[in-house]
Structure 1
Amino acid sequence: MSDSLGSMPANVRPKALVTGSASGIGRAAALKLAEEGFDVTINYSRSHDRAEQTLRELEKHGGSHQAVKADVSDDAAVQEMVAAAAGDDGRLDVLVNNAGTTSQTPPDDLAGIDLDDWDQVFRVNVRGLVQVTRAAAPALRGSQGSIVNVASIVGLRPGPQPLAYAASKAAVVSLTKTLSRVMAPEVRVNAVAPGWIAGEWMERTLGDNYESLMERRARQTPLKRNVTLEDVAESIYALAVTHRFVTGEIVVVDGGFTATT
């Protein structure tokens, strides 16, 4: 592991908090951090069984890991989660803001938007990110740590995602740039914007067209395949740990599709 996170006492393992990490991108990022020597706090809201399974996988890498239940849109729960992640010494080296939700409204159905549904997406994806970042700021500043937010390619360009989700991820892109100034110079803030990730999220989004559309996407991608969870986790880790003079950036992880189409 690089020493770009700032000074660290000898024989002390760095600590990371990954929100929304029972499964998907969060799980992959947590496993990558544990593999690289971090003590990881994973977070879940409802998926207790999945969180426990992920925790068992983390423990295979050694170190001290924990799973904390918290709804990131609940500020009191967020405060308790961050306190648990920072521990007795109040240290936190990496925050990955991954927790997110989406709407079931079809992407082009403007008239069908449920405003309560819209508000819930923004409570989790935007307000939640702000609340977790605010709560973790003192610990991250103390360790000269870093933050990686999980945005989406639909936060940068149109795509087949519900309007509420796309708008919330555009807000994550904007917040990443703004927070990089607010948290400087102690803390770097960057984001990843994954393209179409093979797996259950896109299966739900594309429905019966999943196989054909993913195959077409892979053919149109310069690197000739679709994004994997592990691809995203590697980029999260690199931004968090090794890119010591990079902040306020949005790294697109899609094999070159966006750059060439």
Structure 2
Amino acid sequence: MNVIVTGSASGLGAATAIILAKAGARLVINYASSASDAEATAQACRDAGAAEVVVVQGDVAQDEDCRKIVAAATHWGRLDALINNAGTTKHVAHDNLDGLSAEDFQRLYGVNTIGPFQMVRAARALLEAGAKESGRAAAVVNVSSVAGLTGIGSSLAYVASKGALNAMTLSLARALAPLIRVNAVCPGYIDTPWFTKGRGAAAAQQVRDTVKAKVPLKVASTAEEVAALVCFLATPQSCNMTGELVRMDAGLHLVN
């Protein structure tokens, strides 16, 4: 299995790559700025049994970088899955309308929405080649968020970018069938360094405790737990699924 995972230097992307490596996948590991983390993830994938691992720097908001990331897989002749995991945010209270600028929206849309589109466009030919060779549809998995379904999240700009990604997932699923199927994972809170980097350790712990107290299942999802769902959608186990927005939020959507 040949797979590109964007934003896979750490967190959910790294956990996803390592699960695929255990199944013997060939992987493109992508990072924007954390080269040391990416190399550590790549080594973990090799140790886990990956057939081949290629590390590529690139910002998915830049079309030329998306093409460079995909070019790293061309020598395989095909792709079986593209996992659009790269994402960014800015933490701003939703009632603080002056806390966001047009530039903030443009940056978040550039990475969270335009980036996945550009990656799909760049990878389309290889994904279609993979489908023709294997006899089943190749997979695109967009890592979205419950923020795009419920209007909650780290900022209004983040919510809007993920809502747009969800809508685009549905459109791409129609447009690219039958050779490529497109689904999205919409996690709730994930216990990764994401919140620590954005808010600091104390605030991140407060968010973790608040989430666990609030959600019906009383748990904070780990990167590995969500990655298992991402991998399910990327592999033939989900071969007849397309156009789905799959929520994994420990029941947060059930809370009034």
1:223 aligns with 2:214: no
Aligned partners of 2:196 and 2:5: how far apart in 1?
A: 24
The one-letter code of the counterpart of 2:229 is S
> Could you say which residue in structure 2 is the equivalent of 1:132?
119
1:82 aligns with 2:82: no
Q: Is the contact between residue 231 and residue 253 of structure 1 (CA under 8 Å) also seen in structure 2?
A: no
1:205 CA drift (Å): 5.1
> Could you say which residue in structure 2 is the equivalent of 1:51?
38
Identity of aligned residues (%): 38
Calculate the TM-score normalised by the size of structure 2: 0.91
Residue by residue over 1:7-27, the C-alpha shift from the partner in whole angstroms, topping out at 9 and shown as x without a partner, is xxxxxxx11000011011111
> Could you say which residue in structure 2 is the equivalent of 1:172?
165
1:89 CA drift (Å): 4.0
> Could you say which residue in structure 1 is the equivalent of 2:135?
none
Aligned partners of 1:133 and 1:91: how far apart in 2?
A: 14
| Structure-2 change in CA distance of 1:81 and 1:205 (3 Å) | closer
1:110 aligns with 2:105: no
1:98 CA drift (Å): 0.8
1:123 CA drift (Å): 1.1
Aligned partners of 1:128 and 1:95: how far apart in 2?
A: 12
| Structure-2 change in CA distance of 1:199 and 1:41 (3 Å) | same
1:260 CA drift (Å): 4.9
Alignment partner for residue 72 of structure 1, among 37, 56, 60?
Answer: 60
The one-letter code of the counterpart of 2:192 is G
The gaps in structure 1 that reach 5 residues or longer are 1-13
Q: Is the contact between residue 30 and residue 58 of structure 1 (CA under 8 Å) also seen in structure 2?
A: yes
Q: Is the contact between residue 192 and residue 252 of structure 1 (CA under 8 Å) also seen in structure 2?
A: yes
Aligned partners of 1:258 and 1:162: how far apart in 2?
A: 18
The one-letter code of the counterpart of 2:215 is T
Three-state SS of the structure 1 residue aligned to 2:204 is: helix
Residue by residue over 1:141-188, the C-alpha shift from the partner in whole angstroms, topping out at 9 and shown as x without a partner, is 121210100001111112241111111011111111111011101111
Q: Is the contact between residue 8 and residue 30 of structure 2 (CA under 8 Å) also seen in structure 1?
A: yes
Aligned length: 247
Calculate the TM-score normalised by the size of structure 1: 0.89
> Could you say which residue in structure 2 is the equivalent of 1:248?
243
Residue by residue over 1:24-54, the C-alpha shift from the partner in whole angstroms, topping out at 9 and shown as x without a partner, is 1111111111112211111011111111111
Q: Is the contact between residue 91 and residue 154 of structure 2 (CA under 8 Å) also seen in structure 1?
A: no
The one-letter code of the counterpart of 2:85 is N
Alignment partner for residue 40 of structure 1, among 27, 45, 50?
Answer: 27
| Structure-2 change in CA distance of 1:61 and 1:45 (3 Å) | same
The one-letter code of the counterpart of 2:253 is T
Q: Is the contact between residue 161 and residue 205 of structure 1 (CA under 8 Å) also seen in structure 2?
A: no
* Structure holding more helix per residue: 2
Aligned partners of 1:212 and 1:113: how far apart in 2?
A: 23
| Structure-2 change in CA distance of 1:54 and 1:151 (3 Å) | same
